Amino acid sequence: MTNDRYEIRLSGSGGQGLILAGIILAEAAAIYEGKEAVQTQSYGPESRGGASKSEVVISGSEIDYPKVTSPDLLLAMTQESCTKYLGDLKEGGIAILDSFFVEKWPDNANVIALPLTTIAKEVTGKTIVANIVAVGAIVALSGIVSKESIEKAVLARVPKGTEEMNLKALQAGFEAVANH
Amino acid sequence: MTNDRYEIRLSGSGGQGLILAGIILAEAAAIYEGKEAVQTQSYGPESRGGASKSEVVISGSEIDYPKVTSPDLLLAMTQESCTKYLGDLKEGGIAILDSFFVEKWPDNANVIALPLTTIAKEVTGKTIVANIVAVGAIVALSGIVSKESIEKAVLARVPKGTEEMNLKALQAGFEAVANH
């Protein structure tokens, strides 16, 4: 990664753990790799309907504008969020879709569809770690931080007693991209 | 509260739960009161030293600029954060200091010093809920959301099994301001 600004938008519904995913990505970049990072939740009228959006900007230099306008990488974990945000992608940007929840997208879109929630269930027995599978896939696809940094950031943030389960989920996200 | 923008900065060290406090304040305003809210973590070089900063902007209308420049309310839970940010307060703004950690501040500053961490320990046996004592104090002092909304937001975010402890901490924050 250069000093360039890299914008990530994580979208889906409340309860999918997107805020935690954003915090982990930002802390991996900032605390473990010495980059600048800003992590934001914007709550508009859609938040009353259960939609959730978490954004991360990572840069090698100071971040003046913390909002994400055209993501380099979009995660969409519901059909609604995919439909709403896919068109915002930067030219050359890519979207990761959770194909357990997202069933349709334009043929010409630059997407990688992975059954994140199914993978979480298969690998750990819990769908709740689909967010960490997503984090693994994001890092594998973008290379925005090292595998070591994201592992440290995951371990620093997940509840005590769930470390092993979350590392499995992270690894499964890496493998899903590698095997795609 | 009117439609005016209200800026809150929560500052201290990593591990004091300031991100969670920010999320709870933002969700109380947005999900339970229908306002707009943006909640941000900025990780700069100071984050490698263990400093933590979480910001919330609440407004009755759309929030174009999510950064906090001159807070209406500052929470400082370490001496370092107090020294660093007290001068940024908006004219007429107020700071809540955790007097367990903050020992000195300018005589002419508009501050309310409360032993947040001591209160947390006395009321629940755990210092870890000092962030929720702080949330109670912030809401009591600012009136930015109702007591009912902040209670709902706390219950929606704290770990299962800790609800009662956190509601006690919240209530203690309200009382600390009332009795000040």
Mean pLDDT of the residues in chain B: 95
Q: Where are the strands (E) in B35-136, listed by range?
A: 36-43, 51-59, 73-76, 94-98, 111-114
**Does A96 fall in a domain?**
yes
**Does B149 fall in a domain?**
yes
- pLDDT for residue A1 is more than 60: no
**Does A1 fall in a domain?**
no
Q: What is the mean pLDDT of residues B11-37?
A: 96
Count CA atoms within 13 Å of residue B157 on its CB side. 26
Q: Which two tokens stand for residue B72?
A: 């209406």
CATH number of domain containing B158? 3.40.920.10
**Does B167 fall in a domain?**
yes
Q: Provide the percentage of residues in chain B whose pLDDT is more than 90.
A: 89
Can you give the pLDDT at residue B66?
87
CA distance to partner chain A, nearest, from residue B147 (Å): 19
As for how many domains chain A has, the answer is: 1
Q: pLDDT band at residue B173, thresholds of 50, 70 and 90?
A: very high
* Nearest residue, CB atoms, A38 vs list B31, B34, B41: B41
pLDDT digits (tens, 9 = 90+) for B91-125: 999 999 999 999 999 999 999 999 999 999 999 99
User: Nearest 5°: phi and psi at A107?
Assistant: -60, -35
Domain region containing A61: 6-178
Can you give the pLDDT at residue A2?
47
Distance, CA of B54 to CA of B71 (rounded, Å): 12
User: Nearest 5°: phi and psi at B9?
Assistant: -120, 125
The answer to whether B43 contacts A29, with C-beta atoms less than 8 Å apart, is: yes
For residue A2, give the amino acid letter: T
A31: closest chain B residue by CA: B48
pLDDT digits (tens, 9 = 90+) for A90-116: 999 999 999 999 999 999 999 999 999
Mean pLDDT of the residues in chain A: 95
Smallest Cα–Cα separation from A132: which of A143, A122, A142, A120? A120
- pLDDT for residue B1 is more than 60: no
The answer to whether A41 contacts B39, with C-beta atoms less than 8 Å apart, is: yes
First to last CA, chain B: 23
Predicted TM-score (pTM) of the model is: 0.93
**Does A166 fall in a domain?**
yes
pLDDT digits (tens, 9 = 90+) for A7-24: 999 999 999 999 999 999
- Give me the interface pTM, i.e. the ipTM: 0.89
Q: pLDDT band at residue B86, thresholds of 50, 70 and 90?
A: very high
pLDDT digits (tens, 9 = 90+) for A139-166: 999 999 999 999 999 999 999 999 999 9
Q: Which residues of B touch A62 (CB under 8 A)?
A: 44
Give bridge partners of residue A131 from the DSSP assignment: none
Instruction: Let me know if A99 is exposed, middle or buried by CB neighbors in 10 A (0-12, 13-18, 19+).
Output: middle
**Does B116 fall in a domain?**
yes
Comparison of pLDDT for B24 and A3, the residue scoring more: B24
Q: Which two tokens stand for residue A1?
A: 């990664």
In sequence order, what DSSP letters do the residues of A53-82 get, joined into one string?
A: EEEEEEESS--S----SS-SEEEE-SHHHH
- pLDDT for residue A79 is more than 60: yes
